[in-house]
A = this chain, B = another copy of it.
């Protein structure tokens, strides 16, 4: 099964494998991009009607601690993503979608740690502006 890597990560971090957590992993499989708690809540509710938003938040915390998810905040809401590799997130202020961009090697956490004599646990690069599609768009 395609999610077994994530299941392993949960197990390694001493989390139990519950049906709710498996349904969230299903969501990740089908949605490689960026999502809010409510997006996942709405999706999981279809198969697991008793689940609550609080449980989704709870599960996200476990998954972040397991190394499955990363998160960042925009305008008071937290966005999650399963791309845990260092990268830049561009939030398009026109179409309100995200686009990922590679980061130059010299801003990767390890490089920053080494260069500055600090310990960088997480690094998030958040760009706000206009995405490729909307920039190329003539009618704006």
Residue numbers of A with Cβ under 8 A of B are 72-74, 76, 88, 90, 93, 99, 101, 103-104, 106-107, 109, 112-113, 116-132, 135-136
Is B123 within 8 A of A125, CB to CB?
A: yes
For this chain, the copies found in one complex come to: 2
Known: A126-B123, A127-B112. A90 touches B106 (CB 8 A): no
Is A104 within 8 A of B104, CB to CB?
A: yes
Q: Which of B73, B118, B136 contacts A73 (CB 8 A)?
A: B73
A118–B76 alpha-carbon span in the complex (Å): 24
Known: A76-B73, A106-B104. A120 touches B116 (CB 8 A): no
Is B118 within 8 A of A131, CB to CB?
A: yes
A107 nearest in chain B by CB position = B107
